[in-house]
Every structure is written in structure tokens, then in C-alpha cells.
Amino acid sequence: MDPARFASSRFGAVESGPGNAYSWFNPQPIPTALELDAQTLLALSRADEALGRLAGVGQLLREPRMLMRPYAWKEALASSRIEGTHADLEEVFEADRRGAGRDADLMTVANYIVALDWGLQAIKTQPINMALISTMHRLLLGVQPDSPLAALRERPVWLGSPTDRPETAVYVPPIGDALQRSLADLEHSLASESLLPPLIRAALLHYSFLTTHPFLDGNGRAGRLLVLLFLCAAGRLPEPLLYLSPYFERRRREYYDRLQAVRERSEIQEWCQFFLTAVEHQANDGVNRARRLLELRERYRLELLGARNRSTELVEMIFENPVITSAAVKEQLQVTTQGAHNLIRSLENRGWLQPIGAAGRGGAHRWVAGEVLRTISEDLVPEP
């Protein structure tokens, strides 16, 4: 890590050691007050307004799971892709139906959902602290409690090194006592009352978490989950419908550069503006996607009025996961194998389901609700 790049010490200072072998970053405590400039205030106003609309959608939903699951899978995929996972959305939905098997990329995405579900339940009865984050992180990695990857790190790590050496790294997180102080500050900030707006707090917490880098692996995914849990716990979201990773994935380089610019040049306003723009964009996307999905579902249900079978129940299934197998229909709707095939055929005849072949040699035949999948996956809000 090059100390010369760190021109400001407002958010931390470069230290040397041990033995002056290399340099590392010693963060300052998370700010409890922050004077926001005009551009940040404008970005905050726009993000708050968009988040309020999204929260309103969540309150109006009779069955929020219909939207939560597709959104959560899309977030899981995007958050994992930021860190190098390769999969597409259809593969992810299929893995949800049949299990990820031994595919490492699909298991990474599936673990994200497990961690998210656990975290959302946990914050209903306990505060967000490092114990909660550590359990969520362990589930995220899919490791046992005694795994070294599950523990808070005790050794140095470094990021962005082309030669895998701290001397050539872009960033070396805090070590030793500085790491412990930074973790304590993060936990104190989570527990403390603050006059800062929740979205600004979320931006600062995300920065602090990724700057501290408390684990050997999975810090980015855990830090993005932390934002969602914090906003839900703070009462800004009645349902977890805000997912920022798709925005960060499309701007991966800028995302990392904005975080690093806070460390090097104290560009906290620019980071907050970037974060708030992500909130605005993804909240608007969530509202538009919810409207499109609800309109599509109502059209399907209206066309099924008077149907004497259980097609409407199959429609509900495809909005939670647009990839279908007869085994899944049989199990979830408690019908016979023939009954499941009949229901699938009824939606296929309407053009709502399309066959996509068997899952591997001798595997189960699958169908996809193409219109639903496109509505979940396509970009609905113009880029800012």
C-alpha cells in the first residue's frame, strides 16, 4: 500500500508495521455528525422520497413473499457476482427448485439467501451487533462455526494486489489493536442513537464495515446484507425490497474507487452521493418492478376466472420462482403426478410456461415462465 496516496487523515491514517514491513490503514471512528453539502442533501432527498414509495408498496402487498423472493435471488446473484461468482438468473431459480448440488457458484448464491432469511428473522428479536453479523456471515459462507473462515480475522489481509503482497496492495485493512478498536466502534455505532438520517448512517456503516474488513472472506457480501438489515431494523422498510447490489455490480470499479477515495482523500460527500443514488435508483426499480409483476399476475388471474382446476395456485408459484418442475408442483400443491402435469400443460397451452428441457441426463423436465422471468430480470429504470 502506497502511503503517498493517502493525502488526508480525516478518516484514518497510514501506519507501518509490524517491524515497518508494510503499511496499513488505521481508521478513525465512524462520524456521529456530518455536515452535508448541497449535492448530498439533494441526493438524500431524492433517495428518501424513492425509499418512501418503495416502503408504501411493501405495506400494500397482501403477499409480500411474491416480490421478496425474486428480488432476494436477484440481489444474491448480483452481490455474489461483484466478488467473482458466475451464474445467471435462470440457473439460480432452477437451483432454488432442485438444490445447488455441488456447483460452487450456485451454492454461493443459495447461501446468501439462507443468510438473508436468518438475518431478517434475527433482527425481530435482537439488535444488530457483531455476534449477529458473525452468524450471518458464517451462513453466507456455508461453513461450520469452528471454521477459520467463520472467525473474526486475527491476521492481516490486503486487497487489490497484483503480486499478492501487502506492499503492492491498493488497500491493507487495520490489524491488531486497531482492528479491535474499529470493530468496537462499528458495534458502538450500531447500538447508539444518532441524529444522522438513516440513509447517511447506512452509507457510513457500509463504508466502515468494508474498511475494517473483519473477516478473511465474504466481507463485501456481508456488508451489503448489513445495509438491508439496518434499514429494516430502523423501520425504513416494512419489507426487505431494497437491493443495492445490482447497481453496485454494474459500477463495480466506481463502487470500489468511491470507498477508497474516502480513505485516501476523505471524499465522504462523494461516497454518500454515490450510495444515495444507488438507493434512489434501486428503490424506483423496486416500485416499477412490483407494479409490473402485480399487473402481470392480475392479468393471469383474470384470464383464469372460472377455471375449475388449481391453475391460479400454480400462477402464484411461478411468481415466487418462474422455473417449474412437476415434482415441485406435486409437492407444493399436494396433487398427483398426473395432476401436476395437467396444471403445467394448462399454463403451457396459454403460452405462460415454456419447456426448457431436462436438468442434466435423466433429470426432471423443467418449464420457465418466460414473461415473469423477463419482468424480474430486465432493467426497468433508465440509468441515471
Q: What is the pTM of this model?
A: 0.90
2: left (phi over 0), alpha (psi -120 to 50) or beta: beta
Per-residue pLDDT at 357: 73
Per-residue pLDDT at 66: 63
Structural domain boundaries of the chain? 3-288, 307-377
Per-residue pLDDT at 100: 53
Question: Per residue, what are the HEC states of 240-296?
Answer: CCCCCHHHHHHCHHHHHHHHHHHHHHCCHHHHHHHHHHHHHHHHHHHHHHHHHHHHH
Tens digit of pLDDT for each residue in 331-383?
999 999 999 999 999 999 999 999 987 655 545 688 999 999 888 887 655 55
Tens digit of pLDDT for each residue in 266-286?
999 999 999 999 999 999 998
At 347, list the grid cell.
399454463
Question: CATH says 3-288 is which class?
Answer: mainly alpha
Q: Is the pLDDT of residue 177 over 70?
A: yes
Please provide the CATH number assigned to the domain covering 307-377.
1.10.10.10
